[in-house]
A and B are shown apart, each in its own frame.
Chain A
Amino acid sequence: MDHALRNSLFALVALAAGPAPASGQEPKTRVEQVREDQAAFEDSAEWIYNNLEEGTAAARSSGKPLLVVHRCVP
């Protein structure tokens, strides 16, 4: 599989869960997980974060299909 595509797909599926804490590290709080997810996706060029209206408008103007992920972060 193409490396860039694999990275994109992996981000799509896995990032919300966050990396497992290293040994001895405190696990992330739920608030920290939300903030980390927000930081990773809000300014992403590939993703529209938590705004369906913006996504629908972008799909309409670009002619591309919409891929809407519902991801339970906290």
Chain B
Amino acid sequence: MDRFVCVRMIQANAMDLTRFQFDYDMSFAVTFLNADGTVYGRYGSRSATGDEADRDISLAGLKSTLEAVLALHEDYPSNRELLSGKQPRPVARTRPEQFPGLGRYPPAVDFAGQPVASCLHCHQIQEAMRLEWRERGETAPEKVLYPWPMPETVGFSMDPATLATVDAVEKGTAAEKAGLRPGDSIAEAGGQAVVSTADLQWVLHHAGEAENVGLTIQRDETSLNLGLELEKGWRKQSDIAWRVSTWDLRRMVLGGMFLETVGREERSKLGIEQGRMALRARHVGEFGEHAVAKSAGLRKGDIIVGFDGSEADLNESALIARILQEHQAGGEVEVVALREGERLEVRLKVQ
């Protein structure tokens, strides 16, 4: 650690968005830079605390990343080309406070007075990006709805204890078709040096609607080039349920419900056919705009079997995205639920 200058930022107030571009839903994110602003890499993926703290990150993995970053720093600037794709992209708003609704925050946390109320959180940037599209009455692009896709989105997972080693590959996915195998070490993606899972997410985040992403992998002693074919709609496989900013999406289109998919066995007991919608209301909001479902008569534990005229077996992430893309604020959707064997039909306001 003493080979780095370590800076701990605990606020997004006045964050330079032209410089710091990472998954703003995370509560822990690391950016490695040269003093001239060149980004060497990013670290931090999905989990950071709680029971799932070691699901995507680990001390061993971070140590590997630190070593890889030091090697990149050693070679800099002769490796500029390898780093070029990792550099921040142009953004319309250069500070979070420029987004509607975030202008009320001071330029720094008020430690002496109100440190919590004055703190602009990173996830608020993510929420503001989506809300901006919503309030314009426009449909947010998939890149905004499904930001920073995890590798699972395209069919593989990473071993968090390593720099960038593939842990598992799912059958029938883009990863398997590309020829990726467990144990492969990903050295480059999209022509960029990879020092973490977050670096892979960066490549996927900026990938097109349909694109072939080149991967350079190390398998045993051999270096191989593979092509990861992303087909139209690939981002829709993203799971956004874990994201803090998804709470605001639940307010918009689910009336404040947090839905989880009902398992196969329970479906059978409930008499719900496989392939049909079965989403349990794990939580129903109680206050303000998050209490729309509650006000409509829905309760925690209700099983949602129909939403907006569809009984298709969607998970919560896919349902949220579908409703967001098809309904603007002010509309209504019909919801069908099961409660103790009874069938309920209610209408929910979309916000």
Interface hits, B18-41 → A, CB 8 Å: 20, 22, 26-35, 40
Q: Which residues of A contact B123 (CB under 8 A)?
A: 72
| CB atoms of B59 and A1 under 8 A apart | yes
| CB atoms of A17 and B49 under 8 A apart | yes
Q: Which residues of B contact A51 (CB under 8 A)?
A: 7
Most buried by B among A13, A17, A55: A13
In-complex Cβ contact of B1 among A8, A34, A37 (8 A) = A8
Residues of B within 8 A of A (CB): 1-12, 15-16, 20, 22, 26-35, 40, 48-49, 53, 57, 59-60, 62-63, 66, 69-70, 73, 108-109, 111, 115-116, 119, 121-123
Q: Which residues of A contact B119 (CB under 8 A)?
A: 34, 73-74
Interface of A, secondary structure class, is: helix
Q: Which residues of A contact B9 (CB under 8 A)?
A: 50, 52, 68-71
In-complex Cβ contact of B30 among A14, A64, A67, A72 (8 A) = A67
Complex alpha-carbon distance, A49 and B111, angstroms: 12
Interface hits, A21-53 → B, CB 8 Å: 30-31, 34-35, 37-38, 41, 46-52
| CB atoms of A67 and B5 under 8 A apart | yes
| CB atoms of B1 and A46 under 8 A apart | yes
B95 CB, min distance to chain A CBs, angstroms: 13
Most buried by B among A9, A14, A38: A9
Most buried by A among B8, B11, B12: B8
Given A9-B1, A9-B59, A46-B1, check contact A67 B115 (CB 8 Å).
no
Most buried by A among B20, B22, B33, B122: B33
Complex alpha-carbon distance, A34 and B112, angstroms: 11
| CB atoms of A66 and B30 under 8 A apart | no
B30 CB, min distance to chain A CBs, angstroms: 5
- Shortest Cβ distance from B74 into A: residue: A65
Q: Which residues of A contact B115 (CB under 8 A)?
A: 31, 34-35, 74
Query: Contact size class for A?
Result: 35 or more
Interface of B, secondary structure class, is: loop
B185 CB, min distance to chain A CBs, angstroms: 20
| CB atoms of A68 and B10 under 8 A apart | no
- Shortest Cβ distance from B22 into A: residue: A70
| CB atoms of A66 and B4 under 8 A apart | yes
10 closest A-B pairs by beta carbon, nearest first, are A55-B7, A59-B35, A72-B27, A60-B35, A67-B4, A8-B1, A65-B73, A59-B5, A34-B115, A74-B116
| CB atoms of A31 and B116 under 8 A apart | yes
A31 CB, min distance to chain B CBs, angstroms: 6
Q: Which residues of B contact A38 (CB under 8 A)?
A: 10, 111
| CB atoms of A66 and B5 under 8 A apart | yes
Q: Which residues of A contact B70 (CB under 8 A)?
A: 65
